[in-house]
Amino acid sequence: MQDLLPIVIVTVVVLAGVVAVALAFGARGTYDQIGRSDISFDREAVQSTNDPDEVAALLAATNARRAAHGRPPLTLEDVGGGPDEALRAEVRAFVEARNARRIARGREPLDVEAEVEQRLSGRDG
């Protein structure tokens, strides 16, 4: 009976090691997600759901109905399509922070003005 004790101990230790290695490889993706969420800035921007062509088509249809009733056509600014200054300032702060991170990583800096305009126009996806 005492001759089996070392064999049982070695078997249990080897099996526990195999299970530990299997769990470590299986959980690799889990550790990559620590500290990431939908509001973190360490990921690429999600494509905008506002298709500029679709918005333009809707505005054209609205203007056609308005013309049929004898009313003047609308522009995008008339329906609230233009960004307000608070939104522009927030987008600028976001782009400047992203630019600072890029420079800190040794990558080339962004053209902040062009990036702000691109994000506000809805072509940032």
* Segment 96-122, tens digit of pLDDT: 999 999 999 999 998 999 888 888 876
Domain match, 88 and 122 both: yes
Per-residue pLDDT band for 55 (boundaries 50, 70, 90) equals: confident
Domain match, 87 and 76 both: no
pLDDT of amino acid 48: 61
| Residue spans of alpha helices (H) in the chain | 5-26, 28-32, 52-68, 85-104, 112-121
Task: State mean pLDDT over 40-61.
Answer: 72
28 in a domain, yes or no? no
Q: Give me the number of domains the chain comprises.
A: 2
Determine the angle formed by the axes of helices 85-104 and 112-121, rounding to 10 degrees.
130
Per-residue pLDDT band for 49 (boundaries 50, 70, 90) equals: low
Residue 90 has pLDDT above 80, yes or no: yes
Q: Compute the chain's Rg from CA coordinates.
A: 29
Specify the residue for token string 């470590």. Answer: 24
35 in a domain, yes or no? no
Hey, what are 55's tokens? 């918005």
Residue 46 identity: V
Per-residue pLDDT tens over the stretch 8-47: 999 999 999 999 998 888 877 776 777 776 666 665 655 6
116 in a domain, yes or no? yes
Domain match, 88 and 119 both: yes
For residue 57, the enclosing domain spans 49-81
Domain match, 96 and 125 both: yes
125 in a domain, yes or no? yes
